[in-house]
Structure 1
Amino acid sequence: MGLILKLLAGILLGTFIGLYTPHWFGNLLITFKVLFGQLLFFTIPLLILFFITSGIAALPQNSGKLLGRTLGIAYLSTIIAGVIAFFAASIVVPMLATEAKEVAGLVGTTLTPYIELNIPPLFNVMTALALAFIFGLGIAATQAQQLKSLSDQGRDIIELLLVNVIIPLLPFYIAGVFAEMAAAGTVFTTLKTFGIILILAISLHWIYIVSMFVIAGMKAGVSPVRLIKNMLPAYFTALGTMSSAATIPVTLQCTKNNNVNEDVANFTVPLCATTHLAGSTITIVSCTVAVMVLHNSLAIPSFMAVLPFILMLGIVMLAAPGVPGGAVMSAVGLLGSMLGFGETAIALMIALYMAQDSFGTACNVTGDGAIALLVNEAAPSTEHEPS
């Protein structure tokens, strides 16, 4: 929650600097933004490579049917959540942002960095994704322990960079973006759309949660209201922790209270904590549409044009870093390579996502309970009603 407050402070500080301070002061902040942006975009392909490789290589080897069933439901859930979010945002956001001005074309016209440094990534995002699958599946098949250790150590280094450098400095990066927009005169339109899209995302989270438990309740023959009620402790715990992994003990107990077989719960809940990010996907897709509305240079694509992005996003979400903002960091590369997002558009995405990260995480873990129920109904399980 402290990170969210710092992010909001960064938005306010950047707006104030862009509106009221001398240009030389704003240029200092923009210089930091440009340099930090180079580090961020250099890191993204490495993040995708190491996290997805490590995630695939670490999947349990002796639980074939249960593993396939759980991952299949988690992936399908994520894709459906993204599709629903796209249609909802495509209908709602344009009606609420008719006065949106072009942001991308105005960036840099009034505030310019004193220093520019080019740090090209070692490889692009799609290359990183292909390498991650080749090495991840190869390590899982051959049990190449040295390569597995290398991918795990690489993941740990990138996570250390995220936790100690990138995430703490994000508020200053966002402040630079909003300083640019304030100087260009587009900040208030952006903030108006921010509020609307956050309300939309949280509303879609609950529509998703209710839908998942209606389906699970129908298969289990139990009232969805009772199932959701039993999962509320996990939802509110995730709001505070902003971490699916940190909420696992509570999610496990809530899932068992819904009378999921203990072995099924012990397998599915920890696995889904790192592979099922439907709530995060809802937010990312909703925010994507909002940012496209704010940028006249980014046309809102048709459903068939955005579907490949949603399908790839579902794959990337399977191994997103388990840190605050980890999901959007994993999505950054896809936004640039598949939808043409520039640095300013990506910075807006990060700001929008981080502002609701706790709600997206809460949706993720609550949905994990529904997936456990669905897996339970397809596997040997007890037949009693939840407590």
Structure 2
Amino acid sequence: MLKKITSNLLFKVFIAIILGILIGLYLPESVNRLFNTFKAVFSQFLGFAIPLIILGLIMPAIADLGKGAGKLLVITAAIAYGSTLFSGFSTYFVASGFFPSFIEAQTVQNVGEGVEKLSPFFSITILPVLDVMSALVLAFVIGLGLATQGESSLKKVANDFQKIIMLVIEKVIIPLLPLYILGIFSAIAYNGQVESVLSVFLKIIGIIFIMHFLLMLVQFIIAGAITKQNPLKALLNMAPAYLTALGTQSSAATIPVTLQQVQKNGVSPKVANFVVPLCATIHLAGSTMKIVACAVALMLMQGLDFNFTMFAGFVMMLGIAMVAAPGVPGGAIMAAVGILQTMLGFNAEAQALMIALYIAMDSFGTAANITGDGAIALIVNKIVNKDEVSA
């Protein structure tokens, strides 16, 4: 049990934040510069890896969605994307309207400036092989092209590349993220900004926790209205899947329980066996909610200007990027880092704070994702049964 807790990514990030604060407050500048050196090197590697992550995840994900594309796939994908867009846009309006009441501009005096006061002992430059936007466009072009073909040599190359990128994420980036976050928080603490940052963090986490439950309630009210079922009963039937996801932090690992509970809500085995595994990959409304809310909060903290037009493009692109999110804890934020950088202008320090905030709520976002899958399954089941009756 103890080993399971200590190996949990959320636990590691929590410890990293605490240690980073203590190091920044109480240890000498030389120690803080050491951690800032690691942060600087890892930041360069992350910048190099992000375009490769986009290529390795999005390209085969789009190609696989086109495989055997039929009516059921189109219906499910359209509803899942619509749910993700609803989550993103509703979160933006709530966050942009409510967050300014407790987040003051310059809460973090430009995160980047504060960190730069602690110069690293040395730095290296790792240039990415292509920029993020070029990687996105290339991933779409090749992915859509592969979706129109059957099995091909290039598709096998794309799948092999995906496996390599997954290994990089699971064996290098995710294990080193806590140390990276430690470096960020030691710099924040060293420069006297930790109290304001943590107070905002705690408020954001509390608000997003409430918003997750409201999102799930709305999803099942809509599903209940379409299927003429009691939405609260259907939502409560998904409780075992929700609790399982809290423990596993993985939509994929929760699939067996999700299947069982979806069928208890009256979804046919045929529809459930198709929709649940697919939605575990492409429906991340809860994760989208976290990313959008945290992005608005961090932009407010740094006094950066933003507007609806900027976030509209970001949310629509985020919905597509979430399709490629790997099924590991923290995987969704790794798939989103590239568009945070290109569309919202997040620098390395802001990205690290974003990752820390996201992982702090990872279990709840995953649980909201798979609970929403149950609502989508109900709607798809109704549409399929209606078409079969009319046929």
Give me the TM-score of the superposition, normalised by structure 1.
0.95
How far 1:60 moved relative to its partner?
A: 5.9
What SS does the corresponding residue of 2:133 show, helix, strand or coil?
helix
Q: Deviations over 1:81-101 (max 9, x none)?
A: 001111111122211123724
Partner of 1:187: 194
Match of residue 93, structure 2, among 82, 87, 95: 87
Partner of 2:385: 380
Comparing 106-115 and 216-225, the one that deviates more: 106-115
Match of residue 178, structure 1, among 185, 194, 214: 185
Q: State the distance in 1 between where 2:41 and 2:102 align.
A: 34
Q: State the distance in 2 between where 1:252 and 1:11 align.
A: 37
What SS does the corresponding residue of 2:256 show, helix, strand or coil?
helix
Matched, 1:219 2:226: yes
Aligned positions of 1:1-387 closer than 5 A: 2-59=8-65, 61-98=67-104, 100-104=107-111, 106-296=113-303, 298-299=304-305, 301-380=306-385
Q: State the distance in 1 between where 2:136 and 2:198 align.
A: 33
Q: Deviations over 1:307-354 (max 9, x none)?
A: 001111011111111111111111111111111111111100000000
What SS does the corresponding residue of 2:111 show, helix, strand or coil?
coil
Q: Is the 8 A contact 1:261 1:381 kept in 2?
A: no
How far 1:145 moved relative to its partner?
A: 2.0
Q: Which ranges of structure 2 fall in alignment gaps of 5 or more residues?
A: none
Q: State the distance in 2 between where 1:60 and 1:134 align.
A: 13
Q: State the distance in 2 between where 1:136 and 1:97 align.
A: 40
Q: State the distance in 2 between where 1:382 and 1:132 align.
A: 35
Q: State the distance in 1 between where 2:98 and 2:237 align.
A: 32
How far 1:161 moved relative to its partner?
A: 1.1
How far 1:134 moved relative to its partner?
A: 1.3
Q: Is the 8 A contact 1:259 1:382 kept in 2?
A: no
Q: State the distance in 2 between where 1:14 and 1:235 align.
A: 32
What SS does the corresponding residue of 2:179 show, helix, strand or coil?
helix
Q: Which amino acid aligns with 2:110?
A: V
Q: State the distance in 1 between where 2:110 and 2:254 align.
A: 38
How far 1:162 moved relative to its partner?
A: 1.0
Q: Deviations over 1:164-200 (max 9, x none)?
A: 1111111110010011111111111110111011111
Cα RMSD for the two superposed structures = 1.6
Q: Is the 8 A contact 1:85 1:285 kept in 2?
A: yes
Q: Which ranges of structure 1 fall in alignment gaps of 5 or more residues?
A: none
Q: State the distance in 2 between where 1:382 and 1:248 align.
A: 26
Q: Is the 8 A contact 1:103 1:186 kept in 2?
A: no
Q: Which amino acid aligns with 2:71?
A: K
How far 1:13 moved relative to its partner?
A: 0.8
How far 1:144 moved relative to its partner?
A: 4.5
Q: State the distance in 2 between where 1:63 and 1:345 align.
A: 39
Q: Percent identity?
A: 48
Q: Is the 8 A contact 1:93 1:193 kept in 2?
A: no
What SS does the corresponding residue of 1:322 show, helix, strand or coil?
coil
